[in-house]
Structure 1
Amino acid sequence: MLSTKEHADVFRELLRKGDRLYLVPVPGHSSALPEQLAAIAKNISADLELVETYADVFAALEVAVEGEKKRAIVLCGSLYLIGHFLSSINN
């Protein structure tokens, strides 16, 4: 998520009990530190199943899909991150 966003507000809207949160920086942009976002998320929603940080979106997705068949995976937080992801998989 970009550093300019209202992180707590975003987490309040998105996170639900039992969710798993995988946090990554947004490449090439003013990104909030994933470790700081993790602390905010834990304060907002203490009943998350998992909160982890990763160096990039691909490392996070690798862990997120490991052994999962029924959980939806949502990539969100920044259109820049989604653009980076789509650009990378299309190359």
Structure 2
Amino acid sequence: MNIQTYLDAIEGILIRCFLGGMGLLLVWFAMFVFAGDVIYPIHARWFQIPRQTFDAIHYAGMALTKIAIILFFLLPWIAVKLVSGKKAG
């Protein structure tokens, strides 16, 4: 097996992880937007937090998750894609 085979496998893994992570982030966002009024009372009972704090925590969590997904999956995928293109050309 040559290096191109490994690069192709890594590309596939990284793009699937990126798409899966963004899918989970989309589900989180949808649940937060459409079911936030149902989710908040459950968390408020456990943690005694005001609604603004609850919203801020979720907003920050989604932002950090998005940054992590881009940093750990999309950027390496782009790098592997560039290296793979140099090997093929």
TM (normalized to structure 2)? Answer: 0.25
Scaled by the length of structure 1, the TM-score of the pair is 0.24
Greater relative CO (CA pairs within 8 A, separation 6+):
2
Higher strand share: 1
In our comparison, the structure showing a higher alpha carbon Rg is 2
**Greater fraction of residues in helix:** 2
